[in-house]
Amino acid sequence: MDVIKEFLDMGGYGGYIWPSYIVTAVVLIVMLVASQRLLKGNEATIKALEPAKKEETGEEKT
Amino acid sequence: MLHRFANPTRFLRIATLVQPWMAWSTILLAGAGLYLGLLSSPADYQQGESVRIMYVHVPAAWMAMFCYTGMAVSAGVGLIWKHPLADIAAKATAPVGACFTFLALFTGALWGKPMWGTWWVWDARLTSMLVLLFLYLGYIALANAFDDPSRGTRASSILVLVGFVNVPIIKFSVDWWNTLHQPASVIKMDGPSIDASMLWPLLLMAVAFNTYYLWVLLIRIRAEIVANKIRILRLKQVHG
């Protein structure tokens, strides 16, 4: 227990070190998830648009 | 050679193959870097345990400048050779670069408070990093400010190229002006002056940040290529 407490305390600098790591992780994960959602959203939109385009041009699905 | 990979359709195929490699590299390198940085590496003889902030602060600052340099190269290629993928790469990089710059400033403030006694000083290194953040935000705002995307791309590309003057200022600010910020200790003419026990976690985290950037970049370029296709399809629908 003391080992964990000591590790989290980081020689009295825990209040500066942990927020650095936590905010870095949060920002990078949010950026990754947002980018992935943007891609999925765009892929869903184009899937919805393409059948409409094929119908207009009289193309048939293969 | 470059032209071959710069074809958007071919690029999409390659990006889909490379992306998992970047993802796994990021996870493994960051895991090793965090283990060495937080558990295995020693405390600094002057800064104590607070030195561990370096393992996220320095890679974030390096990536902030690396991303901007990449954006400037892409914007230049886009302006000169009118290559669509170059413009897309610049646009895809900007939000990631802005995140890295914010993280460099944020973690720098958290490191500065216990070491310098202040969160912030208006010295050359910190101020030029803040300018870099505004350049990223300005680029994003300008690129999306026009109804005609090609005009937004052109204007924002010029802004990136003009703003590139800030990158050498950031790098050499600690040599040119008096500052609280410490000078370079890794990228130096006479080699790194940092002990291997601290250099390894730092380099592992730096490479992890780099592979993370490539991972997110590939996702965002793919998203942007699809967004361009959507735009063209919608225009075709409107104009018959």
Q: How do the domains of chain A map onto residue ranges?
A: 21-57
pTM recorded for the entire structure: 0.90
pLDDT value of residue B4: 56
Per-residue pLDDT tens digits for A6-56 = 889 898 999 999 999 999 999 999 999 999 999 999 999 998 887 665 665
Is B195 within a domain?
Answer: no
Here the tokens at position B11 are 């690029």
With left for phi above 0 and alpha for psi between -120 and 50, is residue B177 left, alpha or beta? Answer: beta
If one compares B167 and B181, the residue with the highest pLDDT of the two is B167
Test A39 with B219 for CB contact under 8 angstroms. yes
Per-residue pLDDT tens digits for B203-223 = 999 999 999 999 999 999 999
Q: Residue B100, exposed/middle/buried by CB under 10 A (0-12, 13-18, 19+)?
A: buried
Of A23, A39, A52, the CB nearest to B106: A23
Tell me the nearest-neighbour CA distance from A29 into chain B, angstroms: 10
pLDDT value of residue A62: 39
Test A42 with B102 for CB contact under 8 angstroms. no
The residues, ordered by sequence, that sit 6+ positions from B233 with a Cβ below 8 Å of its Cβ are: A46, A49, A50, A53
* Least confident range of B76-85, B183-192, B216-225: B183-192
CA-CA distance, B47 to B33, in Å (whole number)?
A: 20
Decide: B31 and B204 in contact? Cβ < 8 Å: no
A vs B: CB pairs below 8 A: 91
- Give the pLDDT band (50/70/90) at residue B173: confident
If one compares A62 and B187, the residue with the highest pLDDT of the two is B187
Q: Is B48 helix (H, G, I), strand (E, B) or coil?
A: strand
Q: Which of residues 175-234 of B touch A (CB under 8 A)?
A: 212, 215-216, 219-220, 222-223, 226-227, 229-230, 233-234
Is B178 within a domain?
Answer: yes
Decide: B78 and B157 in contact? Cβ < 8 Å: yes
With left for phi above 0 and alpha for psi between -120 and 50, is residue A58 left, alpha or beta? Answer: left
Is B196 within a domain?
Answer: no
Could you tell me the CATH number of the domain that includes residue B173? 1.20.120
Here the tokens at position B113 are 């408070």
Test B111 with A43 for CB contact under 8 angstroms. no
Decide: A47 and A40 in contact? Cβ < 8 Å: no
Tell me the nearest-neighbour CA distance from A24 into chain B, angstroms: 6
- Give the pLDDT band (50/70/90) at residue B83: confident
pLDDT value of residue B116: 87
Tell me the nearest-neighbour CA distance from A2 into chain B, angstroms: 15
pLDDT value of residue A61: 43
Query: Domain tally for chain B?
Result: 1
Is the confidence at residue A59, as pLDDT, over 60? no
The interface pTM score, or ipTM, of the predicted complex is: 0.89
Is B191 within a domain?
Answer: no
Is B9 within a domain?
Answer: no
| Phi, then psi, of A50 in degrees rounded to 5 | -65, -40
pLDDT value of residue A58: 56
Is B12 within a domain?
Answer: no
CA-CA distance, A22 to B57, in Å (whole number)?
A: 12
Q: Which residue range forms the structural domain that includes residue B206? A: 18-183+201-238
A20 CB neighbours in chain B (<8 A) are 53, 56-57, 106-107, 110-111
**CA-to-CA separations, A31 to B55, B71, B101, B109, B176, in angstroms, rounded:** 20, 18, 13, 21, 34
Q: Is A52 on the interface with B (CB under 8 A)?
A: yes
> Is residue A46 within a helix (H) or strand (E), and if so which, with residue range?
helix A14-57
